Homo-oligomer: A and B are copies of this chain.
Amino acid sequence: MADPTEGSFSEPETEIMRATYRALREHGYADLTIKRIAAEYGKSTAAVHYHYDTKDELLVAFLDYLLERFVDTIRDVETTDPHQRLDLLLDELIFAPEEHRDLAVAMLEMRAQAPYKGDFRERFRGNDEYVRYMIKAVINHGIDEGEFDDVDADHVTRGLMMIVDGARTRAVVLDEPGALETARQTAAEYVDAVLT
Say whether A182 contacts B166, CB under 8 Å: no
CA distance A61 to B64 in the complex (A): 35
Q: Smallest CB-CB separation from A109: which chain B residue?
A: B112
Question: Which chain A residues in 71-126 approach chain B with CB under 8 Å?
Answer: 105, 108-109, 111-116, 121, 124-125
In the assembly, how many copies of this chain are there? 2
Q: Quick check: which of A43-51, A139-147, A153-161 contacts chain B, the rest being far away?
A: A153-161
A130 within 8 A of B: no
Say whether B182 contacts A186, CB under 8 Å: no
A148 within 8 A of B: no
CA distance A166 to B161 in the complex (A): 8
Say whether A162 contacts B158, CB under 8 Å: no
Q: Smallest CB-CB separation from A27: which chain B residue?
A: B116
Q: On chain A, which size bracket covers the interface?
A: 35 or more
* A121 contact set on B, CB distance < 8 A: 173-175
* A113 contact set on B, CB distance < 8 A: 28, 30
Say whether B159 contacts A182, CB under 8 Å: yes
CA distance A77 to B185 in the complex (A): 29
Say whether B173 contacts A114, CB under 8 Å: yes
A193 within 8 A of B: yes
* A28 contact set on B, CB distance < 8 A: 113, 115-116
CA distance A189 to B3 in the complex (A): 47
Say whether B112 contacts A112, CB under 8 Å: yes
Say whether A165 contacts B169, CB under 8 Å: yes
Interface membership of chain A positions 161-172, coded 1 if the CB is closer than 8 angstroms to chain B and 0 otherwise: 111111111101
Say whether B174 contacts A170, CB under 8 Å: no
Given contact pairs A105-B115, A112-B109, A189-B193, A167 touches B174 in the complex (Cβ within 8 A): no
A65 within 8 A of B: no
